[in-house]
Amino acid sequence: MSAPRRLGGGRILGSGKGLAPPTSSSSTTNPRDANTSTNTARAVSPFQASDSSIGSFHSRFSSPDSLSPPSSSTLPHYAQDLASNVSLVGPSNRASTSGRLVCPICDEEMVTLLQLNRHLDDVHQELPEAEQDEVKSWFDKQVLKAKRFQPLSLINQKLRGMDAFESNETQPISAPAAPGRITETAIDPEELVTRKHWQRPLGNDTCTDPTCDKKLGPLNGSVNCRKCGRLFCEEHTMYQMKLSRSANHEPVRGIWCRVCETCYKSREGYNDHNGVSRDHTADFAAVRAKKVERQRLEVQRLEKRLTKLTRLLAEVPQDAGVNSGLLSPLGGAKQIKKTIEQSVVAWEDDASVARCPFCRQEFRSWTFRRHHCRTCGKVVCADPTTGCSSEIGLNVSTQTALPTAEKPTGAGHVSVDVRMCFDCKTTIFSHQDFTDSITHKPPDQIAYENLRQFELGIRNMMPKFHKALVALQPPDEHSNKPPPTHADIQHAASIRKRLTYSFRQYGDAAKRIQNMPTNSPTQRMLQQKIYAAASAFMHTNMLPLKSLPSLLKANGSGHRRLLSNGPSHSPLRNGESASFDPETSSVGGASEVSTAVSALETEEKEAKEKLIVLEEQRFMVQEMLNHARTARRFEEVTALTKNIEELDKEIEGSKRTVAEVTEKFQGLYAGGT
């Protein structure tokens, strides 16, 4: 009979004797001693189910001869492979089967530790209590040894770098300690941050986040924010920031800690969306100043030449060059002018220039002649298509002209034509042209600004009109609001009339912009968009004006009934009709006369204001027309002339309106007397 089965019987994990391969039985060995040794030996049983992958790997690919622990192991007593030593030694020779995985109870061979674990749970579940306790204690010891297994701890240290949060470890992994020494566990840097302000869990806590009502526990987690100390779930503490030991934000020397969303987004510098900027304006201004100064000196040099030339040409007497010959007067005047022009700047030699320096066209004797710039002396062509040179007309004031005259009157001024090349003309007049282009406003811009002024006036007047409408609303049955007075009615009517006039002017200005002549499709589209926006504005804001006449009629009749029946009986409440009374009719007639007078005064004031505005506009347009004629911008001259004609028509209409209002005043006063 075979010896009874026993649990264990293998080598103790980490024993120095277990590092050598098992010794096979020889013929010289006493069988009794062999049985005794096999009975006293203990086989290593399997891991827990969670470590089955490691045991399966070693059980398949590890041999009994490769059981030496790694050199880097800090625990030499437990560095031996566990899975390769799970076996059961019976009375027969089982030493050669130490590399197999067998059940320690029924000697059944297994493939993996997971299969062995399930086999023990299913088949050997009904073991006696003593044997069950022995099996449980054996598994607990093996799990404890597996946790202290050095290669797994190294793997855990490597896997810590794969955390979702920033690591506080800056030092490399220390060298393994000598055998026999107790390894000191590293302190978690987060433990250095104070925890005095942490919220204590009470068992039924919920997440502090306002949008979350999860119960804190093993399922949702229970994490304290390292900064504010409040409890949150796992989802709302997925932020990290550097904190000091006092749990304050320290971005330089702090420790990476887990915080909530509120603390993370409220830290200093979170909303600073502007990065580091460097202002190069001073360097750019210094570089630009050199070029601007060079350009300014060149402009001053050419302006001095042009001023000197124009003064000399303006001072040439009219009878200069008059001789007895037939062609001598013309030739003498041209020669004198040429001499003056060459005295200002030396002319370039004609023979040295074969082509125009701008358009590169070749000069010919008669068909394509050479010309000289009077300010720089270069040889240029006079082709009007290329514009290499052109004659500039200048008005030079003589000594007899009054220096205080604002506008040249023709007398005391001499017209001089000076030929300039393209470069000189640009250098001298570019700054002045740029200034004129800024100060000059085209007609469409002026019309749009006028439209915006009317719109601004309407917007400022609309709140007053709405307030007057509220005052005209009839009181309710249960309210103590007094009925509207005659002054309220007159005030509302006056505001409505002013608004009506403003809307009419606003519509005319919008139509004027729409009907402006233009050849540009973009300009035409812009005008149509402006007119559409103006129409939408009028439709939106003119709606309250339509409800006022009915309110005025109702309140006017109610006011008469109020005067006839006394202050205690309101016709708005009992609906009674007002009876005819001479006194009431006289009072009503007087009120109607006063209303007519106030309406005429308002109409006269508005008509005069309109006339003043139109006259100011005509004056401005006339100034623009004069400026355009001086600058020879003939397209603008045509458009401005049409605008002046339209303004003249409107001014005449305003004058007629003022005259009609005056006649109405005279008729009203004549009828009153």
In a domain, 590, yes or no: yes
Is there a single domain that holds both residue 335 and residue 362? Answer: yes
In this structure, the answer to whether residues 555 and 426 fall within a common structural domain is no
Among 166-175, 253-262, 331-340, whose mean pLDDT is lowest? 166-175
The residue type of 498 is R
> What's the pLDDT at 55?
40
Claim to verify: residue 593 and residue 518 sit in the same structural domain: yes
CA 54/CA 369 separation, integer angstroms: 102
Same-domain status, 142 and 107: yes
pLDDT tens string 363-413: 887 778 889 999 999 999 988 888 899 888 888 877 544 343 344 445 567
Residue 168 lies inside a defined structural domain of this protein: no
Tens digits of residue pLDDT in 206-254: 999 988 989 998 888 999 999 999 999 999 999 999 999 999 999 999 9
CB atoms within 10 A of CB 497: 16
The domain tally of the chain equals 4
* Domain closes at, from 439, 461, 490: 439
Predicted pLDDT at 117 = 83
Question: Which residue in 56, 128, 116 sits closest to 107, CA to CA?
Answer: 116
In a domain, 274, yes or no: no
Task: Collect contacts of 664-673 with beta carbons under 8 A, ≥24 apart.
Answer: 664/600, 665/600, 665/604, 668/593, 668/596, 668/597, 668/600, 672/593
The domain in which residue 210 lies consists of: 185-267
Residue 272 lies inside a defined structural domain of this protein: no
Q: Which of 389, 424, 439 is the last residue of a domain?
A: 439
Quick one: angle between helices 486-514 and 543-565, nearest 10? Answer: 160
- Mean pLDDT, rounded, of the chain: 72
In a domain? residue 33:
yes
3-state secondary structure of 196: coil
Q: Tell me the H-state helices in 389-442.
A: 422-439
Q: How does residue 181 score in pLDDT terms, banded at 50, 70 and 90?
A: low
- End-to-end CA gap in the chain: 154
pLDDT above 90 covers a percentage of the chain that reads: 17
* Residue 666: per-residue pLDDT: 64
Averaged pLDDT, 92-112: 67
Give the pair of three-digit tokens for residue 425.
């003309």
pTM (two decimals): 0.36
Integer Cα distance of 200 and 335 in angstroms: 109
Determine the Cα angle at 482 with ends 478 and 488, to 5°.
140
CA distances 282 to 277, 287, 289, 404, 537, Å, are 14, 9, 10, 42, 47
- The rounded distance, in Å, linking the Cα atoms of 156 and 185 is 14
- The CATH number of the domain holding residue 311 is 3.30.40.10
The DSSP 8-state label assigned to residue 249 in this structure reads B
Quick check: 373 and 388 in contact, CB under 8 A? Answer: no
Residue 575 shares a structural domain with residue 458: yes
Give the closest residue to 464 by CA, choosing from 430, 419, 439, 498.
Answer: 498
Mean pLDDT to the nearest integer, 420-424: 91
Close Cβ partners of 324 (under 8 Å, ≥ 6 residues apart) = none
Angstrom distance (rounded) from CA 185 to CA 299: 82
Question: What pLDDT sits at residue 89?
Answer: 42
Residue 630 has a pLDDT of 81
Tell me the pLDDT tens digit for each residue of 75-98: 444 444 444 444 444 444 443 444
Residue 44, φ and ψ in degrees, nearest 5: -80, 130
What are the E-state strand segments in 504-556? none
Tell me, yes or no, whether 433 and 447 share the same domain. Answer: no
- β-strand partners of 243: 249, 255
Same domain for 56 and 97, yes or no, is yes
Q: Is the pLDDT of residue 505 over 80?
A: yes
pLDDT, tens digit (0-9, with 9 covering 90-100), for 577-624: 333 343 333 334 444 555 666 677 777 777 877 888 788 778 878 888
C-alpha distances (whole Å) from 194 to each of 102, 197, 224, 255, 257 are 53, 8, 12, 12, 11
Instruction: Find where tokens 């009077």 sit.
Output: 374
Instruction: Please indicate, yes or no, whether residues 114 and 197 belong to a single structural domain of this protein.
Output: no
Helix, coil or strand: residue 421: strand
Number of C-beta neighbours around residue 87 at 10 A:
25
List, for residues 640-670, the tens digit of each pLDDT value.
888 888 888 888 888 888 888 777 766 665 5
